[in-house]
Amino acid sequence: MFDALSGLPEQCIRAWELGMALTVSARAEIRQVMVTGLGGSAIGGDLLRIFAGKRLPVPVTVNRDYVLPKFVGPQTLLFATSYSGNTEETLSAYREAREKGAQIIALTTGGKLKAMAEKDGVPVITVPGGISPRAATGYLFLPTLAVLQKLGLLEPLDEQVAELSRHLQAMREQLKPETPLAENRAKQVAINFFQRIPVIWGASGTSEVVAQRWKGQVNENAKAPAYWNVFPELNHNELVGFQKPEELLRQLYIVILRDTQDHPRVQKRYAITREIMGGAVAGMDEIEATGNGDLARLYSLIYPGDYASVYLALLYGIDPGPVKVIDQLKARLA
Ligand code: PA5
């Protein structure tokens, strides 16, 4: 898992090149963009929703289901994303998208999705296999940006992608196993999460996807529970729920993912929320976004969580790679 993590800066460049290499044109005006996928493959869609949502004149949505919303049709650009290419919900959504005449692009390492798409004459972006889907966010996200750029829907992002890769290279030096605890934020977070329940808070529309990602990484890598929520919504409900039962609350450790570019009122909420929370939980920490471009800033919040979840797995004596429970469930459904 550490190899896959440390390869992310190079993965992002390769992923971008793979997307840019695709020959693509729109059959009809694109009125909405959708990513259909599950788990590690859906997170790429969420990153697209957050990043491109601020830039595109059309909505970007993520579908995590067997079925598609009614509005999907010939004016929908639909990325069918499955790292394995064998996730049944994604295959079902792909078939429905074909019936509805959507403009589909398959993003996968192979499997049934690639076979079906090639047979149907649907463009396929084939990304390298051999790592966990959740370690492949570069492969499952950046090609979608490249396609949107090629279709003229996004401004040129080549510079942002280069900065992203450089920024991740610098970050991996701080996060890698050889970097001692005192300078390694991911190790510090893992120690604070150990034998506790991680709670991750992001900001709606920006780090919300990152909070969800951290939760999924703790679940799948460390095989432990975790929960996430977003500002400002959590100030209207979750915040009230930190009063009882006191013993249980002392098992929670909260990390806030923040960015100086978050809405000023949301930034004010972070500080007030921390004050209100007082000593109710085991502890609270904050991770601050770094970098210039939005891509680098987004990944600067993701990367520490990826590493922290693997360090947490090691603290629990667990192999972060296999997700036997998911495999068993898929086998029982077959
Ligand atoms: O990270 C994982 O292994 C899972 O979350 C998978 O991504 C999920 O089960 C879907 O599989 P795939 O990404 O192959 O479509």
| CA R_g for the chain | 20
- Convert the pLDDT of each residue in 87-120 to its tens digit: 999 999 999 999 999 999 999 999 999 999 999 9
What lies within 8 Å, CB to CB, of 87 at 6+ separation is: 37, 38, 39, 41
> What was the pLDDT predicted at 109?
98
Distance CA 227, CA 103 (A): 35
- Convert the pLDDT of each residue in 15-59 to its tens digit: 999 999 999 988 899 999 999 999 989 999 999 999 998 899 999
- Convert the pLDDT of each residue in 205-240 to its tens digit: 789 999 999 999 999 999 999 999 999 999 999 999
Distance CA 216, CA 223 (A): 10
Cα of 38 to ligand 1 centre, how many Å? 6
Q: Looking at this predicted complex, what is its ipTM? A: 0.98
Closest ligand 1 atom number to CA of residue 84:
14
Q: How many domains does one find in the chain?
A: 2
Tell me what the mean pLDDT of segment 289-300 comes to: 96
Tell me what the mean pLDDT of segment 266-283 comes to: 93
Are residue 133 and residue 217 in the same domain, yes or no? no
Reported as a pLDDT band with limits 50, 70 and 90, residue 278 is confident
Distances (CA, A) of 65 to 36, 38, 90, 91, 92: 8, 8, 7, 10, 8
> What was the pLDDT predicted at 200?
98
Are residue 60 and residue 25 in the same domain, yes or no? yes
- Residue 16, domain CATH: 3.40.50.10490
Nearest CA, atom 14, ligand 1: 84
Percent of the chain with pLDDT over 90: 93
> What was the pLDDT predicted at 50?
93
Q: Is 232 within the bounds of a domain?
A: yes
Cα of 127 to ligand 1 centre, how many Å? 14
What lies within 8 Å, CB to CB, of 196 at 6+ separation is: 251, 252, 253, 282
Closest ligand 1 atom number to CA of residue 81:
15
What lies within 8 Å, CB to CB, of 71 at 6+ separation is: 32
Range of 297's domain?
A: 180-315
Distance CA 36, CA 233 (A): 26
Are residue 136 and residue 18 in the same domain, yes or no? yes
> What was the pLDDT predicted at 330?
86
Q: Is 320 within the bounds of a domain?
A: no
Are residue 209 and residue 308 in the same domain, yes or no? yes
Which of the residues are catalytic?
A: 220, 236, 330
Are residue 73 and residue 193 in the same domain, yes or no? no
Cα of 185 to ligand 1 centre, how many Å? 27
pTM: 0.94
Cβ atoms of residues 315 and 190 within 8 Å: yes
Ligand 1 binding residues, C-beta < 6 A: 37-41, 82-84, 87, 90, 132-134, 220, 323, 326
> What was the pLDDT predicted at 206?
82
Closest ligand 1 atom number to CA of residue 37:
15
Q: Using most ligand atoms within 8 A of CB, pick from 87, 221, 306 the residue to mutate for ligand 1.
A: 87
> What was the pLDDT predicted at 53?
86
* Residue matched to tokens 């550490």: 2
End-to-end CA distance of the chain: 28
Cα of 13 to ligand 1 centre, how many Å? 22
Distance CA 179, CA 213 (A): 24
From 174, 256, 144, 160, select the one nearest 6 (Cα to Cα): 174
Q: Is 249 within the bounds of a domain?
A: yes
